[in-house]
Amino acid sequence: MPELPEVETIKNALVPVVVGQSIVDVELFWQKALSKPSPDEFRRELIGQTLEGIRRRGKYFLFDLSGDKTMILHLKMTGALLFETNSDQKHITAIFRLNGTDLYFIDQRKFGSLWLVKDEQEVIGKLGPEPLDNNFTPGLLSQVVNRHSIPIKALLCDQHAVAGIGNMYADEALFAARIHPLKRAKDLNISEINGLHDSIIEVLERGIRHNGASISTYRLPDGAEGMAHTQFQVAHRRGEVCLTCGSPITRISIRGRGTYFCPHCQPE
């Protein structure tokens, strides 16, 4: 699933191309992706609108329109936003035809979601803090972890706790902080919390600098691959050696999520 660095990278690539353009037509091929409103109303209210800006909140895209509503999009597992595509039509969720380009919402597994709302908080209001915002301090992270006794890996993937982090970057942050993924969140000490805070920011910013990780279906809008996965220390590296100590990287499941770590660098 695209995580914060992938969504931020796509947003940054879209802004200079589509912001300021008008929506000429909307073709919705997978109506179940639309959570609100009805397909007819969605299309009717979007056509003629100008895209005035694009923002990111967690893993959500927020398209600011010239009217009084915001279009919200979530890529979920396999979604992509592309300017051109050779994909089979069955994989196309929607096409937004603008006056200067077309924007394809591609989603092989059809888990992606769309909303058109007046109040964006009804969709994103329960998300946790943004880890790259200035107000995401060690103190704030301490408040978050001290409220939970679940494994720290599970907490980092909880979008109500911290927005935008998923499997890959949670694994990378825990490795950088030398914290075992099964350790209970509230058992982290001050030093570990401070280290994890810095590691979260470090791995997310590195992911953005390398244009996200093309582990599976993720692509930039022009079809290019991201290279963040080439910097991974543990994520998706089961059986390979740790680049720090030479021990084999291990994969376990934590609450249904594949989790990669180094048993030597991250002792239980």
Q: With 90 as the cut, is the pLDDT of residue 225 above it?
A: yes
Provide the pLDDT confidence category of residue 208 given band limits of 50, 70 and 90: very high
- Catalytic one of 2, 129, 131, 221: 2
103 shares a domain with 57: yes
Is 153 a known active-site residue? no
Please report whether residue 266 resides in a domain. no
How are strands ordered across the β-sheet holding 79-82?
Answer: 23-28, 92-98, 102-107, 79-82
Q: Are residue 154 and residue 241 in the same domain, yes or no?
A: yes
pLDDT at 78 over 90: yes
* Residues 95 and 150 occupy one common structural domain: no
What is the structure's pLDDT at 80? 96
Same domain, 110 and 148: no
In a domain, 252, yes or no: yes
Q: What is the pLDDT of residue 44?
A: 97
| % of the chain exceeding 70 in pLDDT | 100
- Asked whether residue 133 is domain-assigned, the answer is no
Residue with tokens 């058109």: 116
What separation in angstroms does the CA of 253 have from each of 154, 194, 214, 239, 259? 10, 26, 22, 15, 6
Q: Is the pLDDT score of 19 beyond 90?
A: yes
| 181 labelled catalytic | no
Residue-level pLDDT at 173: 98
Q: What is the mean pLDDT of residues 56-85?
A: 96
- Note whether residue 131 is domain-resident: no
Q: What domain count does the chain have?
A: 2
Whether residue 157 is found in the same domain as residue 182: yes
86-90, 149-153, 249-253, 261-265: segment of lowest average pLDDT: 86-90
pLDDT of 217 > 90? The answer is no
User: Domain boundary at 95, 124, 153, which?
Assistant: 124
Residue 108 lies in a domain: yes
110 is annotated as an active-site residue: no
Provide the pLDDT for residue 1.
81
Task: Please tell me the predicted confidence (pLDDT) of residue 89.
Answer: 84
User: Annotated catalytic residue: which of 3, 6, 8, 172?
Assistant: 3
> For the chain, what percent of residues have pLDDT higher than 90?
96
256 and 194, same structural domain? Answer: yes
- Residues in a beta bridge with 103: 96
| Full residue range of the structural domain in which residue 85 is found | 4-124
Asked if residue 78 and residue 112 are part of one domain, the reply reads: yes
Per-residue pLDDT at 75: 97
Structure confidence at residue 87 (pLDDT): 81
Mean pLDDT over residues 97-106, rounded?
Answer: 97
Average pLDDT over residues 193-202: 98
CATH code assigned at 9: 3.20.190.10
Asked if the structure places residue 235 within a domain, the reply is: yes
Looking at the fold, whether 245 and 147 belong to one and the same domain comes out as yes
In a domain, 61, yes or no: yes
Residues 156, 119: one domain? no
Q: Quick check: is 194 in a domain? A: yes
Choosing from 65, 90, 124, the residue where a domain stops is 124
Burial (CB < 10 A; 0-12, 13-18, 19+), residue 138, is: middle
Q: What is the CATH number of the domain that holds 221?
A: 1.10.8.50
Regarding whether 83 and 25 lie in a shared domain, the answer is: yes
Pair 45, 96 in one domain: yes
Is 59 an annotated catalytic residue?
yes
Mean pLDDT value of segment 142-161:
98
CA 238/CA 187 separation, integer angstroms: 27
Annotated catalytic residue within 39, 192, 257, 263: 257
Catalytic one of 11, 59, 69, 237: 59
Q: Give the mean model confidence (pLDDT) for residues 243-248.
A: 97
**Is there a single domain that holds both residue 177 and residue 74?**
no
